[in-house]
Structure 1
Amino acid sequence: MLFKGSDNSKRIDLIINYIKVYNTLAGMIRTTLGLHKLSILISYCGNISAISNDGVTIVKLLNPAEPIAGTLMDSVLFLYQGL
């Protein structure tokens, strides 16, 4: 529920930020699906790089700063393990 005053604008900013995180993660994983899947290069820990065309591997390599992104990645890994 949105409240009066500055709390309302802060919550809207937070929701917009979450949508951006979801879109970024979805865009990265989307390219690894289907017949014409692409490989993705991920650079992490400053100087370590990995190339993969597997969405689950990409999700495991990501280390998001946003807590909501971590929750989303955990749910993706949980769903994949159930398949």
Structure 2
Amino acid sequence: MFVIVNGTLLLLKLGVLTSFLPETFPKESYYYDWINANILIWGVILAVHSIIVLRHRFTFFKKWEERQIQKYMDEDKDHVDKYR
């Protein structure tokens, strides 16, 4: 959906689709300046969403979590052994 919508908007901004627009529709280039911001903002939101949804597929996060668990287990073991 991102590619279709923003691709269409980009083609509209570049003037490729202006022949399909009605005569009363604005065709000045400054009218389409918001399209760049739309692509950037929507792209950042999509990237963050993808990272959150697919985080279990990234091994870095899983390895980091395992290292942290192991660190806390070692600290707990050292603490218990200190009082034996």
Please say whether Structure 1 and Structure 2 have the same fold, judged by a TM-score greater than 0.5.
no
Question: Larger radius of gyration, structure 1 or 2?
Answer: 2
Of Structure 1 and Structure 2, the greater strand share is in 1
Higher helix share: 2
TM-score calculated relative to the size of structure 1: 0.33
